[in-house]
Amino acid sequence: MSPNRTRPPNPEVAVVAYDGLCTFEFGIAVEVFGLPRPEMGADWYRFRVCAAEPGPIRAVGGIRIEAEDGLEALTGAGTVVVPGWRGAREVPPAPLLAALREAHGRGARLVSLCSGVFVLAATGLLDGRRATTHWRYLPVLAELHPAIRIAPDVLYVDEGDILTAAGSAAGIDLAIHIVRRDHGARAANQVARRLVLPPHREGGQAQYVERPVPAQPGSRLAGLLDRLRGRLGDPLAVPRLAAEAGMSERTFLRRFAEATGTTPGDWLVGERLAHARTLLEETDLPVERVATECGFGTAATLRHHFRARLGTAPRRYRERFRTA
């Protein structure tokens, strides 16, 4: 592993369990951070479940959870995950809020999945920051916590030390993003493959679309997207894409937006950036060659999109995330 690779200073992940626990969001945290992964080495995450309240914890689906640790265990965590919450308008217990504030004050990274944002919001730590949640909860979040800069219609928001995910499955996207941030693209791709997931989605993608891309073999649009990922270096104009999909340009643009929640141009930029990040992390190719391989044409164009979407330059990104 390269000495330039940054690791979380504390790899311990604590997930908060509460009565009325959201089972799916809890499962995301367990699946990504809690499963044994010896292939990842000794510095992989350490995992524990911390009960927010005394007594047996009831979870959605008719099951019970008995956590070995309580809130006092949050003092040793480097990352604290709040996997949903039992009600947008239900005030979280004061001891839980105090424990989260204390953990954050010591440098822990706080993460919410779906409605878990209401717990982080109640701490006051999100005031003045960007955050998101499931689209159906956005009006309530704005009403109860007007000081939060709500980012609607995105999969997740990374504010560095506080990260929030939109509804349900977007928590997987955020968890994989955290793995990539901590351990690099190769590790994130390994976890995604084990989860049988498609290529990672960036946080800025729409969290809700009218009609997902059909997964059936032979679907014209889904098949086209798969092919495009294999030839990102080619010039890809809308007329050509529409022709390949067997549609008029107008129909193609409408169906593309319905299926992906974005435009062909924005989708291509996101896919090209994802490929550029992998090349910067795993190869010695100069930035100019990376730009060509990914379809940006010039290093200046690559730098422009890198700064616009990732807030850094390609060379700085490589210095931080380069693998051995």
Residue 148 buriedness (CB in 10 A; 0-12 / 13-18 / 19+): buried
Helices (H) and strands (E) in the chain, counts: 13, 10
Angle at 302 between CA 259 and CA 153, to 5 degrees: 35
Q: The whole model's pTM is what? A: 0.72
User: Per-residue confidence of the chain (324 residues) as pLDDT tens digits?
Assistant: 233 344 567 999 999 999 999 999 999 999 999 999 998 988 899 999 999 998 889 999 999 999 989 999 998 999 999 999 999 999 999 999 999 999 999 999 999 999 999 999 999 999 999 999 998 999 999 999 999 999 987 889 999 999 999 987 899 999 999 998 898 878 888 898 888 776 556 666 555 544 444 444 445 777 788 888 888 888 888 999 999 888 999 999 988 887 777 888 888 998 899 889 889 988 999 999 999 999 999 999 999 999 888 778 899 888 877 755
DSSP-derived pairing of the beta strands 109-113 and 130-131: unpaired
The sheet with strand 109-113 has its strands ordered as 46-51, 12-17, 79-83, 109-113, 162-165, 156-158
Single out the residue of 115, 200, 113 nearest to residue 165, CA to CA.
113
CA 32 to chain CA centroid, Å, is 12
